[in-house]
Amino acid sequence: MIRFVIYLFILLISSEVNGQVLKQRVSQSQISIGQPVTINYIVDAMPSDTILFTENSETIKARSITESGDLSKDGIDFEIVSDFRDTNLFINGQKKWVGEYVITAWDSGLYVLPGPQIIINDSTFYFENIAIATHLSTPIDSVDLYDIRENFTELPILPFTVIDFFTSYWWVVLVILILALAITRFIRNSKENDREDEIKPPSLKDRTILAINSLDSSKLWEKDELKRHFVELSYILRSYLTSRYSISLLDKTSYQTKILLTEKGLNKETVDVVARILSQSDMVKFAKSKPELIEILRISTLAKQIVVETSPLEFDNVE
């Protein structure tokens, strides 16, 4: 009775497989680290069989074999270096399905790749495991290769010395000295430029305007010295025009001054204003005219206007 049951069980399994054969093939069982190896999974099936295989996309988990020959719980990931490929071949009325991985490992040892799962006609089957040995270099017959055991020795910390520092980092000291000299020179040049700006004498225009303002601030008309005010104003204006146009106007009459300025190319409006200022001064000096305060200040303003209009343009921060 027991023998019959066993026979029946074997018969049922055989009918379920239905002539399907699972095979696996590896191009090399021993490889160097980083060397690619090709694994093929093959199924001989009937033409009508439906085959479903779920492939891995990045790595395949492998378990390592211990020195005693047992499978360890730990292992490594074999990297898939090219995409999984599969194909169906029909030979003599039979169907052959072939799937292919190209993988590599980055650690040495003896590993077992578990047989993957495949579904045929809604039935699940498993390929057999594949053993692969990986080495640091190409294995040589009759020569055992072992992993390199790394040892580290801590070096003693040497005491700091100035001589060692300058010997190793002399270029740092040189760069610091160059930068210090450059900064010192820049600061010195900046101070010299500031000093030159401070010593720079005022222009002819500035000196003339300053003289007219100083004359107005003295308010000589309130001290009954109106004649002196116009004498000094006339002298300031004549001195400015003498220096500005390189002509002598201090001993010239108002009429002569007008002619000389016209010959120097001044426009008629400017010459007329100068003549008016000088004429007003002559009237106070010789005719004892006494203009109102507003007229006195207006004449001073006209004198400063003449100085500004006839002076060359000045620009700040121009070297």
Q: Is residue 53 part of a domain?
A: yes
Asked if 236 and 268 count as a contact pair (C-beta separation under 8 A), the reply is no
- Torsion angle in degrees (nearest 10) through CA of 116, 119, 120, 126: 30
Q: Which of 119, 135, 151 is the last residue of a domain?
A: 135
Of the residues 94, 113, 135, which one is the last residue of a structural domain? 135
Signed CA dihedral, 171, 176, 181, 182: sign only: positive
Domains in the chain: how many in total?
2
Long-range contacts of 246-249 (CB under 8 A, 24+ apart): none
Quickly count: other Cβ atoms within 10 Å of residue 302's Cβ.
15
The predicted-structure confidence for 138-188, as pLDDT tens digits, reads as follows 655 555 555 555 555 665 676 767 677 767 777 888 889 899 999 998 998
Query: 284 lies in a domain?
Result: yes
Of 81, 91, 7, nearest in space to 44 by CA:
91
Task: Round to whole Å and give the CA distance between 53 and 98.
Answer: 10
In a domain, residue 272? The reply is yes
Confidence band (pLDDT; 50, 70, 90) for 289? confident
% of the chain surpassing 70 pLDDT:
83
Residue 2 lies in a domain: no
User: What count of residues does the chain have?
Assistant: 319
Does residue 259 belong to any structural domain of this protein? Answer: yes
Q: Tell me if 10 is assigned to some domain.
A: no
pLDDT at 230 over 90: no
- Four-CA torsion 161, 166, 172, 176, nearest 10 degrees: 90
- Work out the average pLDDT over 195-215: 83
Distance between CA atoms of 317 and 193, rounded to whole angstroms? 11
Work out the average pLDDT over 189-212.
Answer: 81
pLDDT above 60: residue 5: no
> 93 lies in which domain range?
18-135
Which of 135, 161, 177 represents a domain boundary (last residue)? 135
